Amino acid sequence: MLNLIKKAQNGNDKAFLTLFQKYEQDIFRTAFIYVKNQSDALDVVQETAYRSFKSIKNLKEPKYFKTWLIRIAISCAIDLLRKQKNVIQMRTEFEEFISRDINEDIDLEMTVRDLIERLNEDEKSVIILRFYEGLTIKEVSETLEIPLGTAKTILYRAIDKLRKDLKGDGLYEQ
Amino acid sequence: MNNRIKQEMYRIEIPKELNERSKMGVSKAKYEMGKPKRRWSYIIGAVIAASLTLSIFGPNYFSNNPPENPIIRTMETNTVIDIDDPREVVGFSDNVFLGKVIKKVGSKSLNDYPETQFNVEVLDSIKGELKGTIKVNQQGGYDGEYLFLMENDKLLVEGHTYLFATRYLKEENWHTVIPVGGDIPFNSDEEKKELIEKYKKAYDEEIPFKLK
């Protein structure tokens, strides 16, 4: 793997493609959560392949290759949404310290549709990196270049939102 | 939670063209990147190898004349466009023009295979506004006894006339020919007229290159 990354950094496209294709499904799924349709998600994958190969020379820590790819995919997806003017920037630049531990073990009856429709862009990023990619919340904050406190706030808000929205649904059905 | 998110995300169906789209992204980047900058160690290595070869084969080994019967090596590339469709070729090009190859002027390579540069006199411009004599770069060329050809695209011939479709590379101030569909020879005024008509029409209906 390290060898392939080195080759890719020296401009070897075959080596890069081998690496990229290991993760293309994860990239596609991540993109799908943002752009909500197959065609745009494929565009995001292609753009991610393009941007990542062009900038792989700048990847300093090969062990974070996958996280680095996912981060690029998230940017590509958000750029595409912006282009389509579908997105309203929801980022709130605040840092709120949460002293209590976040209870992540809530058994949510959520579906992929909930993920797609109920969360804003920032919440999707945090949820995907934390739970799909399995990063720690500290790694999530570093990957997204946001303060740890903000990452925690967003994570908690996202979990809360999923839970509340689902409860809402439940009440509605009654 | 962890498993639940994963489980749900795995339900997103993977389309079969996914693999192809990854390739297209990488190909486009590769096309634009050219060759990574050489390191000094590589250059020194090459110089040492060259001087060793020189001492073994003697100075006569090197000559400007290409070998009479070169061994042809065909290079294949993942082209990002259909090089047989003039509308895509024109859309992908910065310039489309008719030109006459004056002479070979260099064999600088930005890739892992030989490339050859020619001075070309612009006769007529179809797309872009090129005039006078310009430098055209063709992917392919001689390397020792081998002749490398991109997609079997024949090497340009001095004195011959072609329709060119090219992409400009600012760093080298040359115009790189799109293989096959971007260097079409013509031998008579009639053929020239036909090509102009065909490519003006293709320009009107060009398919601009985009990541789609």
| Cβ–Cβ contact B8 with A under 8 A | yes
Short-list A82, A58, A161, A77, CA closest to A117: A161
Q: What is the mean pLDDT of residues B24-36?
A: 80
Q: Can you tell me the distance from the alpha carbon of B31 to that of A173, in angstroms, rounded to the nearest whole number? A: 55
Q: Per residue in B148-157, pLDDT tens?
A: 887 778 899 9
Which of A42-56, A65-79, A160-174 bottoms out in mean pLDDT, i.e. has the lowest?
A160-174
| Cβ–Cβ contact B27 with A under 8 A | yes
Backbone angles phi, psi at B119, to 5 degrees: -85, 130
Which of A43-52, B59-68, B135-144 bottoms out in mean pLDDT, i.e. has the lowest?
B59-68
Q: What is the mean pLDDT of residues A63-89?
A: 82
| Cβ–Cβ contact A105 with B under 8 A | yes
Q: Can you tell me the distance from the alpha carbon of A140 to that of A122, in angstroms, rounded to the nearest whole number? A: 11
Residue B50: per-residue pLDDT: 56
Task: Assess contact for B164 and B175: CB atoms under 8 A.
Answer: yes
Computed on alpha carbons and rounded to an integer, the radius of gyration of chain A in Å comes to 17
Q: Can you tell me the distance from the alpha carbon of A159 to that of A110, in angstroms, rounded to the nearest whole number? A: 10
Task: Assess contact for B160 and B101: CB atoms under 8 A.
Answer: yes
Both tokens of B180, joined, read 């096959």
Residue A125 exposed, middle or buried by CB count within 10 Å (0-12, 13-18, 19+): buried
User: What letter would DSSP give residue B70?
Assistant: P
B64 pLDDT higher than 80:
no
Beta bridge partners of residue B72, listed in sequence order:
B147
Q: pLDDT tier at B207 (50, 70, 90 boundaries)?
A: confident
Best to test chain B binding among A27, A29, A33, A111 (most B CBs inside 10 Å): A29
Q: Tell me the three state secondary structure of residue B143.
A: strand
Q: Tell me the three state secondary structure of residue A87.
A: coil
User: What letter would DSSP give residue B156?
Assistant: P
Q: Can you tell me the distance from the alpha carbon of A160 to that of A139, in angstroms, rounded to the nearest whole number? A: 21
Mutual angle of helices A38-55 and B18-33, in 10-degree steps:
30
Q: How far is CA B57 from the centre of its chain?
A: 32
Q: Tell me the three state secondary structure of residue A94.
A: coil
Q: What is the mean pLDDT of residues B179-198?
A: 90
Q: Kindly give, in sequence order, each residue whose CB lies less than 8 Å from that of residue A73, ignoring residues fewer than 6 positions away.
A: A27, A30, A31, A44, A45, A48
Sequence spans of domains, chain A: 2-83, 112-173
Residue type, B202: A
Backbone angles phi, psi at A133, to 5 degrees: -90, -15
Domain B1-33+64-212 = CATH 3.40.50.2000 = no
For domain A112-173, the CATH architecture is: Orthogonal Bundle (1.10)
The pairing of strands B174-177 and B161-169 is antiparallel
Both tokens of B121, joined, read 């006199």
| Cβ–Cβ contact B210 with A under 8 A | no
Q: Tell me the three state secondary structure of residue A151.
A: helix
Residue B44: per-residue pLDDT: 52
Computed on alpha carbons and rounded to an integer, the radius of gyration of chain B in Å comes to 21
Both tokens of B119, joined, read 């001075």
Q: pLDDT tier at B88 (50, 70, 90 boundaries)?
A: confident
| Cβ–Cβ contact A169 with B under 8 A | no
Residue B209: per-residue pLDDT: 76
Which residue has better confidence, A68 or B76? A68
Among the partner-chain residues B1, B23, B33, the one whose CB lies closest to the CB of A131 is B1
Sequence spans of domains, chain B: 1-33+64-212
C-beta atoms of B17 and A42 within 8 A: yes
**In Å, what is the CA distance from A42 to each residue of A80, A93, B11, B73, B132?**
11, 31, 16, 35, 43
| Cβ–Cβ contact B16 with A under 8 A | no
Which residue has better confidence, B107 or B35? B107
Residue B13: per-residue pLDDT: 86
Q: Per residue in A77-110, pLDDT tens?
A: 998 888 875 444 443 333 333 333 444 544 455 6
C-beta atoms of B33 and A24 within 8 A: no
Both tokens of A39, joined, read 């065609």
- The CATH number of the domain covering residues in A2-83: 1.10.1740.10
Query: What ipTM goes with this model?
Result: 0.76
Q: 62-101 in A: which are within 8 Å (CB) of B?
A: none
Best to test chain A binding among B2, B6, B8, B110 (most A CBs inside 10 Å): B8
Which residue has better confidence, B210 or A60? A60
Residue type, B125: S
Give chain A's end-to-end CA distance (angstroms, integer).
Answer: 53
Q: Per residue in A2-59, pLDDT tens?
A: 888 888 988 899 999 999 999 999 999 999 999 988 999 999 999 999 999 999 988 8
